[in-house]
Amino acid sequence: MKKHLARVLAKLKITYGTSDPFKLCDYLNIDLRYEDMKQHPLGKTAWMLGESVILLDKAIEYDPRRYFVCAHELGHFFDDKGFAGFYVANQHFKGLSEREADRFASNLVFSFYVEEHGEEPSMIQELSAEYGYPINGQDYLAK
């Protein structure tokens, strides 16, 4: 994970006392909305008229995946604000950005698990069941 995003994770935890992606959206005044996005993509980060907005698909509103998807979108918020137009012209950068957002989300939901349970998960499946962590994402956890 980029050092910048690792510092952001640490600062969020210290400043707000939580790794809950939904509470962080509240604290950071990021408007969070559920919209019918036809399940693709499950989330989107946007900046409209200078305001930050995270859109999540209505299909995951009551699904554990909402945690990971929201955390992923927060990763975009901190990593690439202002670069949305660049993605269209540079697919390589977009791929890197998506992987960094996944790394950010992975570590945020891991921290949230520890916050809620007082210990690290013994298996990745625990993160998946509670926070929608993709099983194939375990390579994204920073040690």
pLDDT-based confidence at residue 110 (cuts at 50, 70, 90): very high
Question: Per the structure block, which two tokens stand in for 9?
Answer: 């994770």
Checking if the pLDDT of 62 tops 70, the result is yes
Contacts 24+ apart (CB under 8 A), 12-17: 12/108, 13/111
pLDDT-based confidence at residue 47 (cuts at 50, 70, 90): confident
pLDDT-based confidence at residue 78 (cuts at 50, 70, 90): confident
* pLDDT (mean) for 108-133: 94
pLDDT-based confidence at residue 84 (cuts at 50, 70, 90): very low
- Mean residue pLDDT of the chain comes to 84
DSSP calls for 81-137: TT-HHHHHH-HHHHHHHHHHHHHHHHHHHHHHHHHHHSS--SSHHHHHHHH---GGG
HEC profile for 57-73? EHHHCCCCHHHHHHHHH
